[in-house]
Amino acid sequence: MLTDIERHALRRAVEIAADDGVPLGPNPRVGCVLLSPGGDVLAEGHHRGAGTAHAEADALARATASLTGATAVVTLEPCTHHGRTGPCADALLDAGISRAVIARRDPNPVAAGGIDRLRRAGIDVELDVPEELAAAAAHLNRGWEHGVRHQRPLVTAKLALTLDGRAAAADGTSRWITGEAARAEVHELRATCDVVLVGAGTARADHPTLTARPEDGARVPRQPLRAVMGTGQFPALPTPEGAGEAITLATHDPSAALADLFARGRRHVLLEGGPTLAAAFLRAGCVDELIVHLAPTLLGTGPPGLGDLGITTIADRLDLDLVEVTPLPPDLRLTLRPRAA
């Protein structure tokens, strides 16, 4: 069972792991807090991206007092493999720790095994952490964990719709279907993903910037990669100050596009447009989450918010599980996941 001091330390480890400047991939985001036998904080550390020290090594390097009998509080199981850095489990053992609090097992079979190694060495390993903190540690790396399991990025499709499923009016106008709160949340979503992807049709029609722009005008330390998928001619994306890199994925195949992005170290893709792109990814089974901003308005006609899914009979419908409903007055945000077959 965790002590109050260890709970506080784990909350702090999650906080420092979530540093906005740390990439979302291809490595996990991890935080570590080292506690003395009496509960004092000896050092903190976190991983800052591929090629940098792991969280445990970073914390060990910052410690100035003896670590004999110390407790290591970490958000992810210490690794056991030799990569650009040595095994973190061995480093903790060499430092003389006697206890480890670990929020989450490592799903990567190449790196996992640290828990067993520590226990074999006689270290008291605590995995029973509060659900809130376990969920926070999981959320840190949901794109990375998805990549480990599926070898492609996590894909979130964002749609803005009227109650009758329209994305724009019959004359093509669409600013603004949703209100200010929903539009502000789009920028928050962009800041939490490492790719924002649109189709060539959206690039031609809307000339989107695809940047994260907070309401308060604050600088976003990590802008997403901006990507346009498709072939043919379309204008280059605008490049306002601070915008992330922009690339073209010259394919109509969602799996090929995701393979390209995965190879670039990207682990969470936000699909922002348009209806043809979203439909293509849904048809390919490449959407993991949908976020629908639903406006309390009707148009009656106009382009639909989603393109053809190739469904001709009710038996073939694509069912979704409703995960969450959140008011964003005057709109609603629906968070959904395609239902497993």
Q: Where are the alpha helices (DSSP H) in 65-211?
A: 88-95, 114-120, 131-140, 142-150, 180-192, 200-206
**Catalytic option among 6, 56, 77, 289:** 56
Do 98 and 69 meet the contact criterion of CB atoms below 8 Å apart?
Answer: yes
272 is catalytic: no
Q: Which helix (H) or strand (E) holds 9?
A: helix 4-17
Do 154 and 288 meet the contact criterion of CB atoms below 8 Å apart?
Answer: yes
CB atoms within 10 A of CB 71: 24
166-205 in b/e form (b: 16+ CB < 10 A) is bbbeeeeebeebbeebbbebbeebbbbbbbbbbbbbbbeb
Q: Tell me the two tokens of residue 312.
A: 């001709």
Which positions are annotated as active-site residues?
Answer: 56
